[in-house]
A and B are shown apart, each in its own frame.
Chain A
Amino acid sequence: MTDALALPKKAWQRRDRKAQFTVWLGWLIGTAIFVYCFQKISENTIWAFVWDAPTQAADLGGRMVPPAWSYINQLWRPIWDTLNIATMGTLISIVLAVPIAYCAARNTTPSVTFIRPIALFIIVASRSINSLIWALMLVTIVGPGVFAGIIAIGLRSIGFVAKLLYEAIEEIDESQVEAIRSTGASAAQTTAYGIVPQVMPAFAGISVFRWDINIRESTVLGLVGAGGIGLELNAAITQLYWTQVSLMLLVIIATVILSEWVSAKVRHAII
């Protein structure tokens, strides 16, 4: 006890002086940038509108209730279109994403130097362009309607599905593949027995997850003319039929909740 007390007390700090100063400087610069930006934005803002915003919101809200319930009968068709856009688009993307993922995964790609970069580029290209932008372009190419929406959703989803799938392929247990190979199995058999069973749960999970996202994305595609409920929504907003707008928002929420429930059930069943 006395020995312990006799030991000189050592000071301890989380950071030394230099690190402390760096952190402090970081905060100072961050605060300065924030203040500067706030000033810039403030100059370009008409504050009268902002102060008026709660009143405007309340007014719009007032015009939205009660929702035009009778309008629902005209909505079944657009909702059906929206669901089809999401489902068909997801299916197309899955079919195309599987071979791309196979080529992009380091452990299955036929060539790391040539084919893998191409596959990775396709993935990045597909992911970096939002489905709304894909739809804008496709409406000019194939004309407005559901078909443009399906292709837009499909193109956007390829990258997402392929990226998550190739990451799953890269994480498989190689010893199982090795064991299948050691029996004299061909490359195709090694894939079917050694790799496919291992990535199947991930594959199913990714597909359902993407379908769930696509239902939400496909509700807005109509804004640019690519079919579905967005088309009706756009029409109602431009014509200031706010009671119809509120009904459509409710319907979209209900659809999304339903799709989330379905995808949760499916994922639970697989894993």
Chain B
Amino acid sequence: MLRIKGLTKRYRTGDLALKGIDLDVPDGQVMALIGPSGAGKSTVIRCINRLVEPTAGTIELNDTEIVALSSGNLRRMRRRMGMIFQEYALVERLSVMENVLSGRLGYVGFWQSYLRKFPQSDIDEAFRLLQRVGLDHMADKRADELSGGQRQRVGICRALIQNPELLLVDEPTASLDPKTSRQIMRLIKELCAERKLSAIINIHDVMLAQMFAERIVGLKLGEIVYDGPPDQLTPAVLTQIYGEEDWASTIRKADDDEPETIDEIAPATPIIERDRLAGLT
């Protein structure tokens, strides 16, 4: 359970990015955070793992207060939160395997990590995750040789190998094409369900948010203006979040979804089969 109370962030430039946000995310909930650019979506999730220092407010993850933690305790806390980035943020010149294993850095000592002597259990888990996302044959490829969708899958593995209690996902699909975007969102949703993980997903694509999140929070100028299920996202609500626009075509209709899903399951199937085989063997 993530509990945010009165979260406020004022940047050194004087901009008030967050104006006292209250937000609870129960265990296992996949929540989408939508809103226009500059609404503070990114600031919210960066405050949770303190890549950005909050100005005021409290954040609790499973009853541990995060804002007041000392740097050593903050490191241990960050291990419990996996983060997935917009431009993947893989270390380009390291291999896929090294990138995945970097998710274990909080658990191993410096020399152990520097000499790449990770425990066998970590290596097993890395291969298992890569297999789950269909990239186990790419383990020794350099990260910059991969396509966008493949890179984001590696990013997902890096976050999951931390064995986190919460996923912080910052615009996971902003650099991907529509089809890959859906595949990545579906993967995140499935993995969260498998591991009973809760997730906060910043996303500017309203339709994707509606398709894959069970709860939607709308942020505007640092304030929450909507908090509810995806199907209550009416044109009026979107106008409130983003401003006046013709929203009729953005909002997902139940029958629109069918053909799209069928169209997409086909390419996604190998991943699923691979996973099933992995489970059997």
Contacts and interface: CB of A to CB of B under 8 A. Distances in A.
For the residues of B in contact with A, the DSSP-based class is: mixed
B106 A197 contact: no
A175 B78 contact: no
B79 A184 contact: yes
Given A183-B102, A183-B103, A184-B79, A176 B89 contact: yes
Tier of interface size on chain A:
20 to 34
Interface string B91-114: 111100010001111110010011
Contacts of A194: 91
Contact of A183 (B87, B90, B105, B110): B105
A137 interface: no
Nearest to B107: A184
A180 interface: yes
A263 interface: no
B78 A180 contact: no
B31 interface: no
Which among A184, A193, A194, A201 has the highest number of chain B CB atoms within 10 Å? A184
Contacts of B94: 193, 197
B97 to A, nearest CB: 13
Contacts of A178: 51, 85, 89
Interface string A161-188: 0000000000001011011111111101
A185 B105 contact: yes
A192 interface: yes
Interface in A239-258: none
B202 to A, nearest CB: 14
B91 A189 contact: no
Contact of A175 (B79, B85, B98, B110): B85
Given A182-B78, A184-B105, A186-B75, A192 B89 contact: no
Contacts of B76: 184
Interface string B159-177: 0001000001000000000
Contact of B90 (A179, A181, A185, A200): A179
A109 interface: no
Given A185-B75, A185-B102, A192-B114, A180 B87 contact: no
B87 A175 contact: yes
A181 B51 contact: yes
Q: Please indicate which of the listed interface residues A175, A176, A178, A186 has the most CB atoms of chain B within 10 Å of its own CB.
A: A176
Contacts of B106: 183-185
Contacts, number: 82
Interface string A186-208: 10110011100110110000000
A185 B72 CA distance: 10
B158 interface: yes
A195 B83 CA distance: 19
Contacts of A176: 89-92
B77 A184 contact: yes
Interface in B20-57: 49, 51
A197 B91 contact: yes
B93 A197 contact: yes
A127 B176 CA distance: 46
Interface in B250-264: none
B75 A198 contact: no
A184 B78 contact: yes
Contacts of A193: 91, 94, 98, 102, 105, 113
Nearest to B75: A184
A176 B88 CA distance: 8
A193 B114 CA distance: 8
Nearest to A179: B89
Contact of B51 (A182, A185, A192): A182
A176 B107 CA distance: 19
Contacts of B110: 186, 188-189, 192
A183 B80 CA distance: 8
Given A183-B158, A185-B102, A175 B93 contact: no
B102 A180 contact: yes
Given A197-B93, A197-B94, A198-B92, A182 B102 contact: no
Contacts of B83: 179, 182-183
A7 to B, nearest CB: 40
Nearest to A198: B93
Given A173-B89, A182-B51, A182-B78, 8 more contacts: A179-B85, A183-B104, A184-B105, A185-B102, A185-B105, A186-B75, A189-B114, A198-B92
19 contacts: A175-B85, A176-B89, A176-B92, A178-B51, A178-B85, A179-B155, A179-B158, A181-B51, A182-B83, A182-B168, A183-B79, A183-B103, A183-B104, A183-B106, A184-B105, A189-B110, A189-B114, A193-B102, A198-B93
| 6 A-B pairs closest in CB distance | A184-B106, A185-B105, A179-B89, A184-B78, A184-B79, A197-B93
